[in-house]
């Protein structure tokens, strides 16, 4: 039997073009969102407890995503009527209205994004794709079905990507609450000896290769 080829988008790749059906109508990705950051996250199945907590969690962060100019999109291989019914259930039973579109994917779409991992069953894994305004994949996360995601980390990662893009800096571990330099950002390494010699005269730091500044 022919083995299934699994495609997994790499950082810096163009997000695969696809026409999709969603709970808010048809969409062309990434074309319809050109000029905007977006986060697409997949879930294994509708009407499952971990996925339900994740949908509520992402919706609770909607204001933060909107403040960053980020669109949010859900996805699984369930049919669109299942998505609609599940969203109704979440509103009726939990009092949370899901305002982002949810894609009804098929195996072809899921395979384009590397979301079907044979060793983890036939459902899509919990994937997160952060895509920039140019349609480039900037961050990819894959979680197994049994572990729910941390929405604060998704928000933090998008915020860090925007900060690094806009300021040509890097962010430290656990930014903006790093144990060494708090909410400061890291200056890119010097590219020549002259710059290295001047670095600590211009910036604070532990050495010329580890300098930082206020944002």
Report, as residue numbers or ranges, the catalytic residues: 51
Give the CB-side neighbour count of residue 30, counting CA atoms within 13 A: 23
Asked if 122 and 116 count as a contact pair (C-beta separation under 8 A), the reply is yes
**Residue 5 φ then ψ, to 5°:** -85, 125
Locate all alpha helices (DSSP H) within 143-182, ordered by sequence.
Answer: 151-167
Query: What SS3 state is found at 114?
Result: coil
Asked if 165 and 177 count as a contact pair (C-beta separation under 8 A), the reply is: no
Residue 178, both tokens: 């790093």
Using CA atoms, how far apart are residues 132 and 37, in angstroms rounded to an integer?
A: 4
């Amino acid at each position: 039997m022919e083995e299934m080829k699994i495609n997994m988008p790499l950082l810096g790749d163009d997000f695969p073009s696809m026409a999709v059906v969603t709970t808010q109508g048809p969409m062309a990705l990434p074309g319809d969102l050109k000029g905007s950051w977006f986060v697409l996250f997949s879930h294994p199945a509708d009407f499952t407890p971990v996925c339900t907590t994740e949908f509520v969690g992402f919706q609770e962060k909607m204001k933060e995503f909107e403040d960053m100019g980020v669109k949010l999109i859900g996805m699984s291989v369930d049919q669109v009527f299942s998505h609609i019914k599940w969203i109704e259930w979440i509103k009726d039973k939990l009092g949370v209205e899901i305002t982002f579109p949810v894609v009804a994917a098929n195996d072809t779409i899921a395979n384009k994004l590397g979301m079907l991992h044979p060793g983890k069953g036939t459902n899509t894994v919990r994937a997160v794709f952060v895509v920039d305004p140019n349609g480039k994949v900037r961050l990819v996360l894959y979680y197994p079905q049994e572990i729910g995601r941390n929405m604060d980390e998704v928000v933090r990662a998008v915020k860090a990507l925007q900060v690094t893009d806009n300021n040509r800096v890097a962010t430290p571990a656990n930014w903006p609450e790093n144990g060494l330099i708090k909410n400061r950002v890291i200056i890119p390494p010097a590219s020549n000896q002259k710059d290295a010699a001047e670095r600590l005269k211009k910036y604070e730091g532990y050495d010329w290769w580890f300098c930082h500044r206020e944002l």
